[in-house]
Structure formats: structure tokens, C-alpha cells
Amino acid sequence: MREPAPGAEAAGVALADWPSGAPARLVASRLPSLETRLLAAMGLTLGARLVVRNQGDPTIVEVRATRIGLARAVAARLLVVAEPAAP
């Protein structure tokens, strides 16, 4: 598993570029508000802890107890930072 790039914590990294298996926290969305609200309804809210399970198109993320498939174009507009691994 690759580690996130140095400095990733400061500004956020596009979810589409986040390594599979690395835990992350959603810090920003560059999507229109309607799309952001739709993702929030599925559990992908700002501050949510997630893990990328499969990179590609779709990008599969696990958030809470759910796996969500996101188009790569959507994942590219969501910003994440490193999150310590769960105990």
C-alpha cells in the first residue's frame, strides 16, 4: 500500500488520487451543492472517515458500514486528508 504524499494533510488530495487501503477524512467537496447533498444522504459527509477499497472508474469507497461507487470525475472533486488507522 502506498502512503499519501508528504503535505497531503495541509491542502487535501483528490480522492481519485488517494491510494487504495489508506484511511482518509473527507475535508472538502468541489461538487455542486445538489451532488454534495446526494453524497451526504449516502453517508459521505464532510468530516466522514473513509477508506478507498478500489481505485478506478468507479472508485469504491467504504464509509461507515457502506461501500459507495463513485465515478472517477466525482472522486476527483472530493478532497481528503490522511486519517490515522483505526485501532
pLDDT of 85 reads 73
Q: Which helix (H) or strand (E) holds 73?
A: helix 72-75
Mind listing the pLDDT tens digit for each residue in 6-58? 444 457 999 999 999 999 999 999 999 999 999 999 999 999 999 999 999 99
Q: What is the pTM of this model?
A: 0.83
At residue 63, the 3 state secondary structure works out as: strand
Q: Where are the domains of the chain?
A: 12-82
| CATH class of the domain defined by 12-82 | mainly beta
Measured between its terminal Cα atoms, the distance across the chain in Å is: 18
